[in-house]
Amino acid sequence: MLVDYRAPTVRAPVSKTHVAPAPAENSLLAALPRKDFELLEAFLEPVKLTFGEVIYGPGEPIQHVYFPTDSLVSLLTLAEGHQALEVGLVGREGMLGIPLALGVSDSPVRALIQGTGMALRMTAAHFSNELQLNALLQREVYRYTYELMVQMTQTAACNRFHRVEARLARWLLMTRDRVRSNQIHLTQELLANMLGVRRVGVTKAACDLRQRNLISYNRGQIQILDPQGLEQAACQCYQIVKDMHEVARA
Amino acid sequence: MLVDYRAPTVRAPVSKTHVAPAPAENSLLAALPRKDFELLEAFLEPVKLTFGEVIYGPGEPIQHVYFPTDSLVSLLTLAEGHQALEVGLVGREGMLGIPLALGVSDSPVRALIQGTGMALRMTAAHFSNELQLNALLQREVYRYTYELMVQMTQTAACNRFHRVEARLARWLLMTRDRVRSNQIHLTQELLANMLGVRRVGVTKAACDLRQRNLISYNRGQIQILDPQGLEQAACQCYQIVKDMHEVARA
DNA sequence: CTATTAATGTGCGTCGGCGTACATACAGTA
DNA sequence: TACTGTATGTACGCCGACGCACATTAATAG
């Protein structure tokens, strides 16, 4: 698969030679001082998360927390006689298993691997323990909890008010930011489940975005052609959450 | 105003004589051992919150945290060219100012007083400080943070999938649980803002519920006549969040 | 008691998304 | 090469909610 490592917003041109592939880091862990990270490292185990895998089921106990490095996970809720609905999207900027940090052992949502890739994981017991001991880890985890709440809030409003096409554009952009690639592997069927609409609704929205030369796609492979144009097509919700993220990290 | 102090689920009959009016407590604080509560008490100031008052604006710093006793507060988010949308409803079972517990000083949402009543409040500085010192307070605050996330999640799905009428029924029931009264003071206009629909939409839904003898209302006074029937009319979202609350407290 | 304002009720055309059914196109396998 | 299953595209009637305009009915003030 062709992978485009361009950063979401290009700042400085990077030499094409001697560039080690961007280290597959997790931002949350990366924000810790080296010393603190080394303390945790003993408990962290790299695992491959594969598309389609479900790491948490709603109401089920959380066995491990995960810090995605280049994988992508979506948080889904279910509702009375309807398909799933995505309430959060987690990539390298975050983690999975927040309830543990809040003293709860079960996940309220389903966590579905959306993009195959690696993550660092830790057992629930080790995490709870380390969190007690490590104030800086606490700081990062709680800050991300806040970010997740904001993302959920904005997503709720977005799902209520905005049209499928705008929401699709937003989803693609959010995914792009997290996997750092313009290539996204996902069928319209799955996409429909994220957005809480019919597959046909996605087809129509995608057709339209394609006609405008913003994206191209083929049987589960979606390519973002014009990120800026796509931002125009998306609702402001995209920018709002993104700005929040940057402010919160400042 | 007539107030009905029946508990949402009647467990044991209570003697009608010599019953002090149910102490206006906040469940979150009430869950603390007496000793811990007494330590906090010095910093808690009772305040009256009046309908229509806004205690937090989005992006504004949180000055105080609030523990409602018999007041009711709704958390609203705003979206690109639309009215507000409620993402959370907080009464005596919770608190306002969660971001502080997550290390963030600004509120992401607007907090609007929905039901006039009392709350205990504490300055942001005192709260942050006490939270550091008091592990049991932490436990309660984080548990409630979890509950709020679940509520937000369920509300998001509900707003996406369910009809206005069912959502209205749910809102009335949630409010009833929090204010412990079948009498709710709120115009359809405001209600429309909570549910993210037009005022006319609320009128139609309310008319229908009234025809079914589930509620009655008159210029801002809504009376729940048949709570059980109303539960039938509401979506399961109501029960789901309620059950979660009870499980989490077990 | 009348004027004014706030709250509620009704009607109507429009639109986005739903449910369903079916048609096409592509990929992998036999 | 033909077969099969998956992914995508198109069509059609329906319905809930929207936007808007306007009518009606309390409460309040002068």
Q: Any CB–CB contact under 8 A between B183 and chain A?
A: no
Least confident of B23-27, B113-117, B128-132, B218-222: B23-27
pLDDT of residue A7: 36
- How far apart are the CA of B9 and the nearest CA of chain A, in angstroms? 23
pLDDT of residue B23: 62
Percent of chain B clearing pLDDT 70 (strictly above): 89
Of all nucleotides in the shown strands, which has a C1' nearest the CA of A221? D7
Name the residue in chain A with its Cα closest to that of B144.
A102
Residue B2 or A128, more confident: A128
Contact call for residues B222 and B184 (beta carbons, < 8 A): yes
The pLDDT tens digits of the residues spanning B58-75 come to: 999 999 999 999 999 999
* Span CA (B222) to C1' (C6), Å: 16
pLDDT of residue A82: 83
Give the pairing type, strands B117-123 and B215-218. Answer: unpaired
Residue A179 or B250, more confident: A179
Residue A26's nearest CA partner among A12, A51, A47 is A47
pLDDT of residue B78: 86
pLDDT of residue B195: 97
- Backbone dihedral angles phi then psi of residue A146, each to the nearest 5 degrees: -60, -45
A19: number of Cβ within 10 Å: 9
Question: Which residue ranges have CB below 7 A from strand C?
Answer: A 163-165, 196-198, 200-201, 218-219; B 187-189, 199-200, 203-204, 206-207, 210, 217-220
CA distances from A173 to A9, A72, A198, B136, B147 (A): 12, 13, 20, 41, 29
B12 pLDDT above the threshold of 70: no
A82 neighbourhood in chain B, CB within 8 Å? 157, 161
* B159·A154 Cβ contact <8 A: no
Distance of CA B114 to the CA centre of its chain: 9
pLDDT of residue A66: 98
Distance CA B242, CA B154 (A): 11
Residue B83 or B201, more confident: B201
Residues 91-120 of B with CB under 8 A from A: 98-99, 101-104, 108-109
What pTM does this model have? 0.89
**Chain D: bases < 7 Å from a protein Cβ:** 6-11, 16-21, 26-27
Distance CA A179, CA A172 (A): 10
Residue B70's nearest CA partner among B147, B174, B148, B180 is B180
Tens digit of pLDDT at every position of chain A (250 positions): 333 333 343 344 444 445 555 566 999 999 999 999 999 999 999 999 999 999 999 999 999 999 999 999 999 998 877 889 999 999 999 999 999 999 999 999 999 999 999 999 999 999 999 999 999 999 999 999 999 999 999 999 999 999 999 999 999 999 999 999 999 999 999 999 999 999 999 999 999 999 999 999 999 999 999 999 999 999 999 999 998 887 767 6
pLDDT of residue B3: 36
Mean pLDDT over each residue of chain B, to the nearest integer: 90
pLDDT of residue B250: 66
pLDDT of residue B80: 73
* A108·B158 Cβ contact <8 A: no
A156 neighbourhood in chain B, CB within 8 Å? 77, 85, 87, 152, 155-156, 159
pLDDT of residue B89: 97
DSSP 8-state secondary structure symbol assigned to residue A106: B
pLDDT of residue B16: 44
Q: Side-chain half-sphere of A81: how many Cα atoms within 13 Å?
A: 4
pLDDT of residue A32: 95
CA distances from B231 to B3, B35, B166, B170, B215 (A): 21, 39, 9, 7, 12
Q: Which of B62, B80, B83, B231 to mutate to test the interface with A (most CBs of A within 10 A)?
A: B80
* A146·B104 Cβ contact <8 A: yes
